[in-house]
Amino acid sequence: MSGDNHIQVAAFPAADVVVVMVPFVAQGHLNQLLHLSRLVSAYNIPVHVVSATHHIGQVRSRHHSFDQLSDDVSTHIHFHAFPTPPFTTPPPHTSIPFPTHLQPSFDSTLHLRHPVADLIRSLSQIAKRVAVIHDVLMSYVVQDVKSIPNAETYVFQPPPAFYRASTHWEKTGGPFPVDLDLMNRLPSRDGISSPEFLNFVMLQQSHLNFHVGELYDSSRVIEGKFIEYLEREEISGKTKIWAVGPFNPVNVKASKNRHECLQWLDKQPANSVIYVSFGTTTTFTADQIRELAIGLERSSERFIWVVRPVDMGVEEHGLVELPEGFEERVKGRGVVERRWAPQLEILGHVATGGFMTHCGWNSSIESISMGVPMATWPMHSDQPRNGFLMTEVLGIGVAMKDWERRKELVTAEVVEDAVKTLLASKEGEEMRRRVEKLVGEVKKSVEKGGASRKEMDSFISYILR
């Protein structure tokens, strides 16, 4: 596996096609394109993952602990780390749900333009074609690809098709494949980002004008009608769309060294535990942490709660303060995990019966592909609409937060009700039945002849054409 930032062309054998992955630097986005690298490399196609030095470090650590990667696949994946100028990350704002403290990190990616172009030019000398798959938020970085004759770009769209389809529908008001009454309740896009991030997005969009196709971490068995909507010529023109997800494995193998959370889950009854995790960028106030803790305690149900320092804007190694005596009182039925937790394996465990989530698409599709209903608590970006897709369209979740009242505290009562609904009610059983039916279709879709496998085969055939 390569990791230096000066590519030696001779170090890589000639190939018909090489793929260059250019992920955005937010953790969920990095994860998605790492999973996609695994899928592409399974076709014996060399994949080169490029990012800033700091983020490649994160990806590498995940890659080595990524038990779903077989050795023959991982030998096709090469990492390239490029330095960016130093920047300062301010502490998170607990009053703003959007992770504005990460903006300097986002802005630093603009410095990757020239090294990434140099890498692609070098690879274009040893390959008949270079297929560059880039996050939609890295369009600025890959703008020079259009000047390389045997290279072409494919945009990875991190949100679900529903998010993009509903946004387009709002602008045009044309016929839409969902009941109009439902769409009139669609969460607004007010407050989903910051002015600085909006400027960053506008810059990226100004360079979105020469890609050949778009890839989604979704499946036609989950979002078929919305993918077909986006495929209309008046929307996508001649741009091809492939829904090749879920990118994450849908059958999770037990890892060699099982995490303590999994050992604890082994002792719990089926569908009796709620997994509580809000991704890597969520910041809560002390009041909100307290309400969440009280709600989990009052529910009397079993839980695993991943409490990261970022959840309260605490420094990297600081501790989030939970209500006094909380951990003692819930001992035995509640696990508080303050470090990394193996989310996919937890969701795939038979004891896990619900997932309280921020509705990042990465987490949402992992929950779908493991057959776990959700309690939706969106924070920013595409999350309010992802939550709406889960609760109102697919019927596999219970809403905890009304987006139009997003500035209000989510009370302990709401937390308690959501947990009880998922784990101990007829409504929860119905959601579980629906998501289990859906996961059956998802698992079939990634097998030979299934909808997602056909899409992946189609994409690979296209780049090998």
Q: Which of 35, 101, 135, 311 is catalytic?
A: 135
Give catalytic status of residue 217 as yes or no.
no
CB-count exposure of residue 144 (10 Å: 0-12, 13-18, 19+): middle
State both tokens at 426. 């007829």
**By C-alpha distance, which of 248, 250, 230, 249 is closest to 240?**
230
Instruction: Give the number of other Cβ atoms within 10 Å of residue 293's Cβ.
Output: 24
**By C-alpha distance, which of 55, 3, 4, 5 is closest to 29?**
55
Helices (H), 138-179: 161-172
Q: Name the pairing type of β-strands 77-82 and 334-337.
A: unpaired
**In the beta sheet, which residues pair with residue 133?**
21, 154
**In the beta sheet, which residues pair with residue 21?**
49, 133
Place of tokens 């990394």: 340
**By C-alpha distance, which of 282, 267, 262, 417 is closest to 337?**
262
Residue 369 region by backbone torsions, left for phi larger than 0, else alpha for psi between -120 and 50, else beta: alpha
User: Do the Cβ atoms of 78 and 46 come closer than 8 Å?
Assistant: yes
**By C-alpha distance, which of 122, 163, 116, 123 is closest to 138?**
116
Edge to edge, the sheet with strand 302-306 lists: 334-337, 302-306, 273-277, 352-357, 374-376, 397-399
Residue 284 half-sphere exposure toward CB, CA atoms < 13 A: 25
Report the alpha-carbon distance of residue 201 to residue 212 in Å, rounded: 20
Q: Which residues contact 456 (CB under 8 A, 6 or more apart)?
A: 39, 242, 244
Give, rounded to a whole angstrom, the gap between the first and last alpha carbons of the chain.
Answer: 27
Instruction: Give the number of other Cβ atoms within 10 Å of residue 206's Cβ.
Output: 11
Give catalytic status of residue 135 as yes or no.
yes
Which residues are known catalytic residues? 29, 135
